[in-house]
Amino acid sequence: MNIILFGPPGAGKGTQADKIVNEFDFHKVSTGDLLREQISNNTEIGIKIKEIIDKGQFVSDEIIDNLIKKILSNKKYFNRLVFDGYPRNLNQAKTLEYLVKKNNQKITCVLSLNVERDLIVKRVLGRQSCNKCGQIFNEYFRPSSKENHQCGDSFLVKRPDDNEETILKRFETYQDKTLPILNFYKNLNLLHEVNGKVEIDQIFKEIREIIASLET
Ligand SMILES: [Zn+2]
């Protein structure tokens, strides 16, 4: 089985992908990682990718498709992939379907983490990390207190680039771009909506049940 994971930025998609990898012995495919790997290995394609990124341009579907093609033809990962942050558009989704079939594999399920806008904003805006001990808190959901944190509040910092406007923009971009892809998988009867509003472990519980019910 191969899995695709969708979720808006701030929904904790990466965390869930890592959990799937650890518990079910999958290999995670993130196009960001694939691109970085090519760049750091200084491959022919990596040099091209670096030029494109340095110019501030987007890496073409063609380049991405080629990297995905390589992964899918690797016997080591046969039917053991979890895609994180890919496909990003309908063309990539269609190419993926084609490549998967060509390699005698299949996409078994597509998981979509559902989280509302307001919750994402609070999760991202409320996030605080402690400069002293490295613990992560959230001023709305899990505030630092005398009981759970000895350092006190003075070491807590927020990420400077997170403001409400950027978060909302990222969220809307995600929705616009992802809805057609989700519909594509819905028509293939592969889409499973997952409640992303609950705690990390509870989200994973639901994901685990879906995967277990599909594993044969
Ligand atoms: Zn601390």
How far, in Å, from the CA of 130 to the mean position of ligand 1? Answer: 5
How far, in Å, from the CA of 121 to the mean position of ligand 1? Answer: 23
Q: What is the pLDDT of residues 130-159, one digit of tens each?
A: 999 999 999 998 999 999 999 989 999 998
How far, in Å, from the CA of 15 to the mean position of ligand 1? Answer: 22
Specify which residues 128 forms β-bridges with.
137
How far, in Å, from the CA of 23 to the mean position of ligand 1? Answer: 30
Q: Are 192 and 110 in contact (CB under 8 A)?
A: yes
How far, in Å, from the CA of 156 to the mean position of ligand 1? Answer: 7
How far, in Å, from the CA of 159 to the mean position of ligand 1? Answer: 16
Predicted confidence at residue 106, as pLDDT, reads: 94
Longest CA span, the chain: 58
Q: What is the pLDDT of residues 40-94, one digit of tens each?
A: 999 999 999 999 999 998 899 999 999 999 999 999 999 999 999 899 999 999 9
Q: Are 96 and 181 in contact (CB under 8 A)?
A: no
Confidence of residue 212 (pLDDT cuts 50, 70, 90): very high
For residue 16, pLDDT over 70 is answered with: yes
By the CB criterion, residues less than 5 angstroms from ion ligand 1 are: 130, 132-133, 151
Q: What is the pLDDT of residues 91-138, one digit of tens each?
A: 999 999 999 999 999 999 999 999 999 998 998 899 999 999 999 999
Q: How many residues does the chain have?
A: 216
Q: Which helix (H) or strand (E) holds 183?
A: helix 164-187
pTM: 0.85
* DSSP letter assigned to residue 109: E
Confidence of residue 216 (pLDDT cuts 50, 70, 90): low
CATH, range 2-115+163-214: 3.40.50.300
CB atoms within 10 A of CB 180: 11
How far, in Å, from the CA of 127 to the mean position of ligand 1? Answer: 14
